[in-house]
Amino acid sequence: MNSFERFCFNLLGKRVKAKRDDYATLRNDLISARFKTPFEVYLSTAYISSIIVGLSFAIVIGIISWVFQLPTLIKYKGAVPEILVGFSAYSLVIGTIFITIFSLLVFGGLTYLAFILYPGLEAGNRRRNIDASLPYAINYITSMSTAGITPAEVFRLLGSSTIYGQSAVEARYIAREIDIFGRDLIDALRLVSASTPSRRMKEFLQGTMASVSSGGNITDYFRTKAEQYSLENRQTQKMFLETLALVSESYVTAMVAGTLFLIILQSIMSVLSGDNRPMFLYAVIYVMIPLGSIMFVIMISSMTPES
């Protein structure tokens, strides 16, 4: 916890503690994302940061509006009630106040929304990383278990490894529950399985709990789950490649052929009509193509499995 987070917690910590039940999803996301920042500190920082960012943008935009007299550039030629006509002389002041308040709400709200959504996005990234690295981690676990190493020591060794990504992080938390908090293996597996964002990891840890509790052959269980998840990974990769082919065809159709057709059509219409400022053509070139390309990049990035 840095000095800014400490300041935010000292300012709003007591009020935030009373809202724990209202932010159950955020608390679960913070745990699943393995954030080291406590819930009260994180939410207090979100509130203060939203206020600071909102005020900063509001002041800057308000000054710009006042200096360049942006509200006076808006002209309304329709009929208005007579009571509003008298306020026309104060249009600069009223417009600047409105723009400032609007900027405060928009940028402050966006900052708060970013704080609320970020743990969930990070938990989703961890879930994909765990799902991708879990088969290899279980193969490592199987090798250690075959050598006669106890399950607790197996997870401790996995947690100390640096090549199994977020799967090793989950194993590190299991080892922490055993070594630092003094819990037995069953309780450690139960706690980590309840907080992990990966359905595969949750299922694997719960199965490990059952095998350890019943005294079954834990090595055979590890070997079976490694084969199962490896097969599922291959199927996932195959489905991703098929989906990627469909997305690429959609991109060529919509963003290449479609926009090219619109550009040619609008160019011909502009020449025939003598329009020197084809706004629709500008919108296609400078808005539709960049935003569409960015949308496809984000979509592909979000659906790409972790390597």
Give CA–CA dist 27/34, Å, rounded: 11
Q: Is residue 189 a contact partner of residue 205, using CB atoms and an 8 Å limit?
A: yes
Kindly list the domain boundaries of the chain, sorted by start residue. 3-122, 127-232, 235-303
Q: Is residue 229 a contact partner of residue 243, using CB atoms and an 8 Å limit?
A: no
Q: How far is CA 281 from CA 15, 268, 277, in A?
A: 53, 11, 9
Give CA–CA dist 263/287, Å, rounded: 13
**If phi over 0 gives left and psi between -120 and 50 gives alpha, with beta otherwise, what is residue 274?**
left
Give CA–CA dist 290/212, Å, rounded: 55
CA dihedral sign, ordered 109, 114, 116, 120: positive
Give CA–CA dist 96/78, Å, rounded: 22
Query: Token pair 């935030």 is at which residue?
Result: 16
pLDDT at 273: 79
Which token pair is 192? 């980590």
Q: How far apart are the first and last CA of the chain?
A: 32
Tens-of-pLDDT digits for all 307 residues of the chain?
A: 788 999 999 999 888 888 888 899 999 999 999 999 999 999 999 999 999 999 999 999 999 988 888 777 666 665 556 565 555 666 778 888 999 999 999 999 999 999 999 999 999 989 989 988 999 999 999 999 988 899 999 999 999 988 998 999 999 999 999 999 999 999 999 999 999 999 999 999 999 999 998 888 898 999 999 888 888 888 888 888 888 899 889 889 988 888 888 888 888 888 887 777 778 888 888 888 889 889 888 888 777 766 5
Give CA–CA dist 152/171, Å, rounded: 10
Helix, strand, coil tally for the chain in percent (to 5): 85, 0, 15
pLDDT at 77: 61
Q: Is residue 267 a contact partner of residue 285, using CB atoms and an 8 Å limit?
A: no
* Distant-in-sequence, close-in-space partners of 267: CB < 8 Å, separation ≥ 6: 278, 281
**DSSP secondary structure letters along 33-90:** TT-SS-HHHHHHHHHHHHHHHHHHHHHHHHHHHHHTTGGGG----S---HHHHGGGGG
What is the chain's length? 307
Chain centre to alpha carbon of residue 153? 34
Give CA–CA dist 265/276, Å, rounded: 15
Nearest to 140 by CA among 222, 234, 233, 229: 222
Nearest to 32 by CA among 206, 202, 165, 236: 202
Residue 182's SS3 state is: coil
pLDDT at 74: 64
* Distant-in-sequence, close-in-space partners of 247: CB < 8 Å, separation ≥ 6: 296, 299, 300
CA dihedral sign, ordered 15, 1, 193, 132: positive
